[in-house]
């Protein structure tokens, strides 16, 4: 059972910050400590990545369709309908795709990790691991955070492709554009400075999702209610972190590339 | 019997008992609620000590302090002569290898089969790589608790009693010297409770373990105890064998044994 310290007011916030820093250091210490749990890592990649494909695919497809349908009247009014593939590609790959996929994954993955580890805490499985001398952080936390950090960029790439394909179908509802021409325009409009920052920030999104989910699960209280609270706060906190990381990433990208 | 043999036997009988757990002046509070108030106890090697007490009296907190899951506010907890609070992370891990802890719920890892639960401490803690050795140990420990047929079942497929047995098997698979049982019979029917209590005795005899058994089950205390301590409101109020306490005229003790 983790120590439950009853602290009033603002001190609790400071203690929480200290706890999170300690948890983060624990992650890095165990990451490089050896004895990496490959089988658990692969299992988590499957759970986190493969099992999110459908949700990410549907969401991205709808976003691609909706963006084209929303953009088209304005672009046509300005006589720039031919710019629709480029507009969609740049906005989707740079910003909309990573953020939407990040938020979707925060909802699905952070809540799932928070609830899973929270219920392990409630049912004393985390205590059992600790008391047996096993390293719960190495077995449970390191593979999950690494899996989210690696699978988020993969999901983002997949989501971008599906979203752009959705845009192609939507464009063909009113206009006629060949698949080849559409994707030639899309590829021509994207360069290194669009792709790399978008990919790098999804790694940080994934890290935030995994870290927040694990931390909330590990630090949840006793009782079934706390499992729900852990899942809920994991989603809210991870979503907030995605916007914060995105804002920072935009600033850094602007300084480096534009 | 020669005179020399008689003297040797007398000396052997006077040999001091080896204390494996020594608690002195232990105090623990959660906020304003003081759960443990200056308690002391000693567990001798090979002894089964039962701590009886009502819910919330601080029984579980006591054994959680022993394994370092909780830090005491005051007092000393020594296991095998080592002060638990002063141990490094590595030393605490080594110490925990010598202590088995059976949780109230069994605390089986629910994403793993019974076999994987057994293998977990062997591969992750003892770092055994030889699959033959692992299989041998798992088979032996499951046979000891009567769960050989459930080796490939998931914890969700097990009954309450089977979960307790599986939890016990996972604890025993690393051959601990001390066993801490947290409410081992809670939530079980009388027959299964009795089986678990008898299992505790057979583990004591076979593995030569020293045990602290936290319970409010009198039948478990009767079967499994060498000595009983009664914890009332965070303090030990009475100590003795089960039979001694059963005959006690003390009102507090009698109330535990449902004697008016």
Of B96, B109, B124, nearest to A131 by CB-CB distance is B96
Quick one: pLDDT band at residue A92, thresholds 50, 70, 90? very high
Give which of A90, A97, A65, A78 is closest to A174, Cα–Cα.
A65
Give which of A130, A79, A103 is closest to A245, Cα–Cα.
A103
Instruction: Determine the pLDDT at residue B259.
Output: 46
Mutate to test the interface with A, among B34, B61, B99, B109 (most CBs of A within 10 A): B109
Give the chain B residue whose CA is nearest to the CA of A4: B30
Of B69, B96, B170, nearest to A133 by CB-CB distance is B96
Instruction: Determine the pLDDT at residue A156.
Output: 96
| Residues of chain B contacting A132 with CB distance shorter than 8 Å | 96, 101, 120-121, 125, 170-171, 174
Q: Tell me what the pLDDT averaged over chain B comes to.
A: 87
Of A55-69, B9-23, B75-89, the one with minimum mean pLDDT is: B9-23
| Residues of chain B contacting A224 with CB distance shorter than 8 Å | none
CB contact under 8 A, A1 and B64: yes
Tokens linked to A15: 């203690």
CB contact under 8 A, A131 and B99: yes
Quick one: pLDDT band at residue A6, thresholds 50, 70, 90? low
| Residues of chain B contacting A137 with CB distance shorter than 8 Å | none
Task: Quickly list DSSP for chain A.
Answer: --------THHHHHHHHHHHHHHHHHHHHHHTSS---HHHHHHHHHHHTGGGHHHHHHHHHHHHHHHHHHHHHHHHHTT-GGGHHHHHHHHIIIIIHHHHHHHHHIIIIIHHHHHHHHHHHHTTHHHHHHHTT--HIIIIIHHHHHHHHHHHHHHHHHHHHHHHHHHHHHHHHHS---HHHHHHHHHHH--HHHHHHHHHHHHHHHHHHHHHHHHHHHT--SSHHHHHHHHHHHHHHHHHHHHHHHHHHHHHHHHHH-
Q: Where are the beta strands (DSSP E) in chain A?
A: none
| Residues of chain B contacting A125 with CB distance shorter than 8 Å | 107-110
| Residues of chain A contacting B107 with CB distance shorter than 8 Å | 123-125, 127-128
Each residue of A13-46: pLDDT tens digit? 888 889 999 999 999 999 998 888 899 999 999 9
Of B70, B107, B125, nearest to A123 by CB-CB distance is B107
Instruction: Determine the pLDDT at residue A170.
Output: 95
Residue A2 has pLDDT above 50, yes or no: no
| Residues of chain A contacting B97 with CB distance shorter than 8 Å | 133
Adjacency order of strands within the sheet including B74-79: B33-44, B19-30, B74-79, B82-83
Each residue of A119-153: pLDDT tens digit? 999 999 999 999 998 889 999 999 999 999 999 99
CB contact under 8 A, B110 and A135: no
Tokens linked to B161: 């009693």
| Residues of chain B contacting A2 with CB distance shorter than 8 Å | 69
Instruction: Determine the pLDDT at residue B145.
Output: 86
Q: What is the ipTM of this complex?
A: 0.83
Quick one: pLDDT band at residue A1, thresholds 50, 70, 90? very low
Q: Is A34 part of the contact surface with chain B (CB cutoff 8 Å)?
A: no
Q: Is A41 part of the contact surface with chain B (CB cutoff 8 Å)?
A: no
Cβ pair A40, A143 in contact under 8 A? yes
Residue A59 has pLDDT above 90, yes or no: yes
Tokens 């719960």: give the residue. Answer: A136
Question: pTM (2 decimals)?
Answer: 0.85
Mutate to test the interface with A, among B79, B103, B104, B182 (most CBs of A within 10 A): B103
Adjacency order of strands within the sheet including B227-232: B99-102, B178-182, B210-215, B48-53, B227-232, B235-240
Determine what percent of chain A is predicted with pLDDT higher than 70.
Answer: 97
Give the chain B residue whose CA is nearest to the CA of A131: B96
Quick one: pLDDT band at residue B144, thresholds 50, 70, 90? confident
Give the chain A residue whose CA is nearest to the CA of B104: A124
| Residues of chain A contacting B94 with CB distance shorter than 8 Å | 133
State the average pLDDT over residues A231-243.
95
Task: Give the gap in angstroms from C-alpha A207 to the nearest C-alpha of chain B.
Answer: 23
Each residue of B159-177: pLDDT tens digit? 888 898 899 899 999 989 9
Cβ partners under 8 Å of residue B155, min gap 6: B106, B108, B109, B110, B112, B114, B117, B163, B166
Each residue of B210-255: pLDDT tens digit? 999 999 888 899 999 999 999 888 888 888 998 888 888 887 777 7
Tokens linked to B248: 């006690």
Gap between the Cα atoms of B87 and B85, Å rounded: 6
Give the chain A residue whose CA is nearest to the CA of B124: A134
Residue B87 has pLDDT above 80, yes or no: yes
Q: Is B28 helix (H, G, I), strand (E, B) or coil?
A: strand
Determine what percent of chain B is predicted with pLDDT higher than 90.
Answer: 52
């Amino acid at each position: 059972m983790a120590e439950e310290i009853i602290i009033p007011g603002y001190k609790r916030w400071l203690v929480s910050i200290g706890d999170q820093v300690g948890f983060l250091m624990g992650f890095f210490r165990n990451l490089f400590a050896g004895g990496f749990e490959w089988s658990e890592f692969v299992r988590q990649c499957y759970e986190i990545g493969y099992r999110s494909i459908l949700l990410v695919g549907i969401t991205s497809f709808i976003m691609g369709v909706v963006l084209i349908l929303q953009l088209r009247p304005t672009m046509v009014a300005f006589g720039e309908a031919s710019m629709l593939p480029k507009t969609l590609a740049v906005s989707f790959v740079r910003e909309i795709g990573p953020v939407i996929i990040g938020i979707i994954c925060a909802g699905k993955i952070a809540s799932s990790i928070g609830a899973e580890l929270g219920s392990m805490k409630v049912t004393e499985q985390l205590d059992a691991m600790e008391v047996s001398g096993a390293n719960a952080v190495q077995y449970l936390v390191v593979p999950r955070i690494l899996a989210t950090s690696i699978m988020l960029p993969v999901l983002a790439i997949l989501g971008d492709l599906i979203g752009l394909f959705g845009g192609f179908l939507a464009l063909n509802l009113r206009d006629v554009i060949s698949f080849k021409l559409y994707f030639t325009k899309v590829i021509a409009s994207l360069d290194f400075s669009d792709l790399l920052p978008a990919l790098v920030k999804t790694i940080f999104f994934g890290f935030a999702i995994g870290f927040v989910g694990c931390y909330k699960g590990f630090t949840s209280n006793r009782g079934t209610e706390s499992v729900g609270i852990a899942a809920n706060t994991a989603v809210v906190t991870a979503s907030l972190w995605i916007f914060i990381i995105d804002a920072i990433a935009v600033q850094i990208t602007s300084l480096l590339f534009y | 019997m020669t005179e020399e043999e008689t003297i040797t036997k007398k000396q052997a009988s006077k040999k001091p008992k080896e204390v494996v757990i020594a608690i002195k002046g232990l105090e623990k509070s959660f906020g304003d609620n003081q759960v443990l108030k200056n308690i002391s106890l000693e567990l001798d090697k090979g002894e089964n000590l039962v701590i009886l007490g009502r819910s919330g009296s601080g029984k579980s907190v006591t054994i959680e302090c022993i394994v370092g899951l909780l830090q005491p506010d005051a007092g000393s907890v020594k296991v095998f002569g080592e002060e638990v609070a002063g141990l490094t992370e590595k030393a605490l891990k080594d110490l925990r290898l010598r202590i088995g802890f059976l949780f109230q719920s069994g605390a089986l890892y629910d994403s793993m089969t019974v076999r994987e639960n057994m293998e977990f401490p062997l591969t992750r803690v003892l770092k055994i790589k030889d699959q033959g050795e692992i299989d041998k140990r798992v088979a032996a420990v499951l046979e000891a608790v009567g769960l050989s047929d459930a080796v490939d079942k998931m914890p969700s497929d097990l009954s309450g009693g089977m979960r307790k047995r599986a939890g016990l098997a996972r604890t025993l698979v690393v051959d601990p010297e001390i066993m801490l049982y947290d409410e081992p019979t809670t939530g079980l029917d009388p027959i299964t409770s009795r089986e678990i209590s008898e299992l505790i005795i057979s583990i004591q005899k076979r593995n030569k373990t020293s045990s602290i058994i936290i319970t409010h089950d009198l039948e478990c205390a009767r079967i499994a105890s060498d000595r009983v301590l009664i914890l009332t409101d965070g303090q030990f109020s009475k100590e003795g064998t089960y039979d001694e306490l059963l005959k006690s005229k003390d009102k507090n003790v009698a109330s535990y044994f449902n004697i008016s």
